[in-house]
Amino acid sequence: MVDINYNAVLEDIKPTEPEKKKVKDLLDKLIHIINKLAVKEGITAEAVLVGSVAKGTWLAGKADIDLFIKFPLNTEERYLKKWGLTLGHKCIEMMNGRAEERYASHPYVTGFINGCEIDFVPCYIIADSSQLKSAVDRTIPHTEYVKRNLKPNQADEVMLLKKFMGSVGTYGSEFKVGGFSGYLCELLVLRYGSFQGVLEAARDSWKPGCIIDLENYGTAELFDDPLIAVDPVDKNRNVAAALNLQKMSEFVVAAGNFLKNPSKEYFYPKNLEFDLSLIKEEFEKRGTKTFLLTFRPPEIPADAVYPQIKKTENSMAQVVEREGFKVLGSDSWTDENEKAVILLELETWKLPRVKKHLGPFIWSKDHQERFLEKYDNCAWVEGDRWVVEVPRKYENAEYFLNDILVENKIGYLQFGKHLKEEILKNHEIIDIIEFLESGKCDDNILEFLYMYLNRSELLWR
């Protein structure tokens, strides 16, 4: 196996000393302001740094800072929410930043200050997981656990793993990705010792149901996920719950590819060209029929948009299949603001005018009688069942899709709860070739279409 100079990679991906100083100086100011404001207002609360910056596992240019404002466990929830947000807003205002309120298990505020994004999140101080009041309360114990157990040189191993996963498309626990979280990366390095150790384990021994239990809690049977990583600070939680089988499998393949043919290129974005004419040519060569449903996404948080679009995509594929049209593939994409796209690629998109309809068994006298009354002398016997040919309601897939996306027929589909109104209000069903020739296809949609056609592209170099 060719040796990789990991130090050269680390030089590119580790924060520089000036970058670290900038972040540290900003943090010192923010923590000082929050704690001073708390004293001034007579609030029992204290700011503490958590997350990858606190653990020293953040990547250059990725200093998304998590400042948690911790309150005593006996604090009323409404008081915690009110003063957590108030302290965050006041701190951002004093630093001449821009504030944006967001929601997780409870509200928090994000500040954009000096080119950095900082989350100010109120939480409770807990001694152990039995005292949990919300999911964010685990974050401080997570940070403390990693800082206590991660050896100094292993922070570099975590950074290599995060960067590798990012470059092969498997990093990020948000629904949009369905991949590995930063905390899970840290636990993997703790379990397998190094970046290369994680890859070798994935290649050699991972399969659905693989268990990582650093504290030997023995609670893995509680979970039914592709990868089970029992949370060291909460034995009843699987850290890998957000990881789907697709991304786990992609990582296993990419790990094997890297170990077989190591290359520094795995740590950098792949140079891809999204040529409209080549993408159009590829769709034409496939001999399939591809339709796009385009619409404007609802104005809801991104974490809620993606599962709702995926639910709608899956429902459309199922309904189309049920009508007799064979689906080769489906996918979906959104820019989270102006555009959303659901893609359906069909192997069959035109059907005969008639279809075979199975009737009752010939032994079922009552059902048989009603069936024959309805279809008279058109029915015949195949095996031990009555069969009849009936006119097909939908012969054309495009007509079918357009017909079911109207108010009185929308019940065919299972929508994400915020999507139904948006799709009914303004949508378009368009053939992929027509769309590519329309001038409506921007670079982001081209990338989406390219990746649909080249789904393993990121897994090798």
What are the C-alpha distances in Å from 275 to residues 198, 280, 285, 446?
A: 36, 9, 15, 8
- Alpha-carbon gap, residue 425 to 321, rounded angstroms: 25
Structure tokens at 161: 């793993």
Report yes or no: 84 and 122 within 8 Å, Cβ to Cβ: yes
DSSP state at residue 58: P
Distance CA 125, CA 112 (A): 26
Q: Is 183 helix (H, G, I), strand (E, B) or coil?
A: helix
Is 52 annotated as belonging to a binding site? yes
Gap between the Cα atoms of 269 and 66, Å rounded:
26
- Beta bridge mates, 343: 292, 331
128 is in an annotated binding site: no
Helix H or strand E encompassing 456:
none
Contacts of 255 (CB under 8 A, 6+ apart): 198, 199, 200, 202, 203
36 is in an annotated binding site: no
Residue 12's CB is within 10 A of a number of other CB atoms, namely 12
Annotated binding residue at 367? Answer: no
The bridge status of strand 354-361 relative to strand 327-334 is unpaired
Q: Do the strands 116-124 and 340-346 form a parallel or antiparallel pair, or are they unpaired?
A: unpaired
Which 8-state DSSP code applies to residue 171?
Answer: B
Annotated binding residue 357: no
Would you call 217 helix, strand, or coil by DSSP? coil
At residue 227, φ and ψ (nearest 5 deg) are -125, 135
Pairing assessment for the beta strands 385-391 and 380-382 based on DSSP bridges:
antiparallel
270 residue type, one letter? K
Starting from the edge strand earliest in sequence, which strands make up the sheet with 289-295, in order?
327-334, 340-346, 289-295, 427-431
Q: Which of 272, 215, 208, 220 is nearest to 246 (CA)?
A: 208
Q: Which helix (H) or strand (E) segment is 431 a member of?
A: strand 427-431
142 assigned ligand-binding residue: yes
Q: DSSP state, 3?
A: P
Tell me the binding residues.
Answer: 52, 55, 64, 66, 119, 142, 162, 171
Tell me the binding residues for CTP.
Answer: 52, 55, 142, 162, 171
Tell me the binding residues for ATP.
Answer: 52, 55, 142, 162, 171
